[in-house]
Structure formats: C-alpha cells, structure tokens
Amino acid sequence: MHTEHPGAGPGLSLTALLPEKHYFNNRGGGGRALPLLHPDGTPNLPPGLLTALGATLGPGIAAEDVMFYVAGVVAHSSYVEQFDEELRTPGLRVPVTADRTLWDQAVALGQHAVWLQTYGERGRHPSGAARVRDTPGPHPVYAVPVGTRMPTGLLYDPERETLHLGDGAWTGVTEEARAYTVGGRNVLDSWVAYRRADPAGKRRSPLSDLVVQVWPSEWSVELSELLSVITQLTDLELDQETLLGSILLAPKISRELLATAGVRWPKDPVGKGDRAPRQPPLSEREARASLKEALADRPAPARLDAHPNPKGWLLTENSGHPGRRWAVGTLGQTRLLDADEEAAEAFKDL
C-alpha cells in the first residue's frame, strides 16, 4: 500500500501469480503490484543498489535476496503494529541492516514467508519441503467432511480449536490462524464469503444468480491448504518480530549512504524513466511482422529498410523516392510517422 495505511496484518503480501492492482486487499486506494523482474528479465531495483549493498554487507547479494529481505522484515503484522503511527504517512519504509548476520537471517525468514505465501512456488522452506502440508509440525486436520450441502458461514470454537463450515469441521485451528488478517480483512471470512450458499459480491446482472449449488470437494482441499499456510505464517511471525527488533537496535544503512555509494533512486512517476518496465528487445523480424499486422488488409510495402532504435525499430519504405516511415516499439506497437516528424519523439509515445 503506497497511498494509505496497510491496515491490520502484514505490511505486504506476495504471489507467484500475476496480480492485479488491488491484489493486496481487494480494495482501491493504494494497492500496487511490484514485480521482482522487468519484462526483459533485469531486476526491478534502483540502479547501483546491489553494488552498494555488497560494498557494505559483503559479496553474494542477489536481486532475489533483496525481495526476501524485505519480506522477512515487512511481511508480518508486528511490522505494521510497530510503525502504526509512521504508516499513517503512506508508504512502506524498510530498515536496512548493516549487519551481514542479521541480513542473512532476514533473507532466510523471507524465503520461508515467500514459500508459504506462494504455496511453495517461490522461496524455500527450511526443511526443503515441496508442499505446504508436507512441512514438520502439526497441521489443522480435516476431521469431518463438509458433504455436498452449501455452507452459509463459519463457526469457530476456540476452546476446542475447531473450525466448523456447514456440516464439516477442521480441528487444530489456532486462534491466531482464525484471526489472521491481510489489509484489515480476515482471510478465512473473506475466503468463505465467496464460496457460501449466498456468495458475497455485487449483483450486476441475472448471471450473478448462477452460483454453485453443491460443495466441491476441491474446495475442502483448498481450505485445508489455506489453514496450513496461515497457521505456519502466524508461527513464523514470532521469529520475524524478534528479528525486526534486533535490526532496529543494530547499525543500519541509510538511504543517503546508499545514494552516496552510487544508488540512483527513481524520481519519475510510475511508468516513466527508471520506473518504466524494461521490455525485451524486439527483433527485426518481429518488427516487420508487427507492421504487417498493423496494416491489416492494406498491402505492406515490398521493400523496407530497418534501422534499430533503443525502443524498437524504424522501418522506412524503400521505393526510390521519399516513402513512408513507421516506428515499431518494443511491444510491437506501430505508428506511421509524419514526413517531418522525428523518430525519437514518436518512440516516446510507444
């Protein structure tokens, strides 16, 4: 969240899928997806950051380690609770330790947190487990089948640590797991709300009334995995809270020190300059194919001269006299240039 307080729960969430803008809490007002890599495969980090961190902390720091470090420090509720007042001024701020031992501990915890939040698709579990329910330690148990009748909601018995859903029940569900929230929303309540007999959501047309009538057994498996994940996340938060306290007491690397070491912080708006996604280069063959597609039913020029441009290709009709010119951007967008138009200006709009 960059324009408002993140709400109760972890400071950020992670996914191996392609998230949309409001992935964090399904509301407007500040959610932002921050990819690990640009489309061309380069790290989505300020230029010079890895070199500057390596100069202070030592060699061997990779771009993925920065993501794991941030996850280890920020992706837990204690971070939001600790900096509740500061986060009233929107924008997550991450304390960067100058202690390599603490850095490595944060990276390891971040690998664990990412592994859990992505259901084993990214990161790493300390045991090397491949699936979220294969890890050591107790997991919630699917004790009583839900059956086929669609449930109307959740009931929780804290004394027996039992979660009831319709005719079904899961045992070994801790109070911390039941109360787990992200962005101020209870995860279990939200999950069930869209899978109950009268599902949540806006009714925009008669199609909204076409809902599942029989409880799919696959949803019971999904809920078992979700309960396992949030149970492990709540256990991990204790270690993250302890580590955050240690980082705050130890020497830290300031933004100014990193800038002095050569880090170039983005100054442009999102989508511009250093913040703009870096696309993989377009081949000449792809540029010609994009132009042919853009011309659709009109015949493409038989002869074209191709001139590489940092943001694509400039294709010029070679017909023995001044011909037409097209700018083809890195994503295949095509624009016909006016006779006096500079190609460099045209590529700014592609």
DSSP letter for each residue of 167-230: TEEEES--HHHHT-EETTEEHHHHHHHTTSSS--S---SGGGG----S--HHHHHHHHHHHHHH
In a domain, 98, yes or no: no
Alpha-carbon distances, residue 184 vs 5, 143, 226 (angstroms): 10, 29, 18
The arrangement of strands across the sheet holding 168-171 comes to 141-144, 168-171, 162-165, 154-157
In a domain, 317, yes or no: yes
Joined tokens for residue 214: 């029989």
**What is the predicted pLDDT for the residue at 39?**
83
Summarize pLDDT for 238-273 with one digit per residue, the tens. Answer: 999 999 999 999 999 999 999 999 999 887 655 566
Contact at 8 Å (CB) between 177 and 186?
no
Residue 170 CB partners (closer than 8 Å, separation 6+) = 140, 141, 142, 143, 162, 163, 223, 224, 227
**What is the predicted pLDDT for the residue at 278?**
79
Q: Which of 91, 112, 119, 94 is nearest to 32 (CA)?
A: 91
- Residue finishing a domain among 218, 250, 266: 218
Joined tokens for residue 25: 């809490």
State the Cα–Cα distance between residues 190 and 185, nearest whole angstrom.
7
Secondary structure of residue 118 in the 3-state scheme? coil
**What is the predicted pLDDT for the residue at 227?**
98
**What is the predicted pLDDT for the residue at 260?**
93
Summarize pLDDT for 71-95 with one digit per residue, the tens. Answer: 999 999 999 999 999 998 888 899 9
**What is the predicted pLDDT for the residue at 27?**
61
In a domain, 105, yes or no: no
**What is the predicted pLDDT for the residue at 91?**
84
Residue whose tokens read 């803008």 = 21
State the Cα–Cα distance between residues 24 and 46, nearest whole angstrom.
23
Secondary structure of residue 97 in the 3-state scheme? strand
As for how many domains the chain has, the answer is: 2
Secondary structure of residue 278 in the 3-state scheme? coil
Question: Where is 259: in which H helix or E strand?
Answer: helix 255-260
In a domain, 315, yes or no: yes
- Residue finishing a domain among 218, 233, 258: 218
In a domain, 181, yes or no: yes
Low-confidence residues of the chain: pLDDT under 70:
1-3, 21-22, 24-31, 268-275, 300, 319-322, 340
- Quote the DSSP letter at residue 12: -
Domain around 341: 284-347
State the Cα–Cα distance between residues 77 and 185, nearest whole angstrom.
13
In a domain, 311, yes or no: yes
Instruction: Give the orientation angle of helix 63-74 with respect to helix 49-57, to 10 degrees.
Output: 70
pTM for this entry: 0.82
In a domain, 112, yes or no: no
Q: What is the separation of C-alpha 52 from the centre of its chain, rounded to a whole number of angstroms?
A: 25
Summarize pLDDT for 148-168 with one digit per residue, the tens. Answer: 999 999 999 999 999 999 999
Q: In angstroms, what is the C-alpha Rg of the chain?
A: 26
- Residue finishing a domain among 203, 218, 233: 218
State the Cα–Cα distance between residues 96 and 70, nearest whole angstrom.
9
**What is the predicted pLDDT for the residue at 52?**
95
* Torsion of Cα atoms, 204 then 18 then 309 then 334, to 10°: -20
In a domain, 207, yes or no: yes
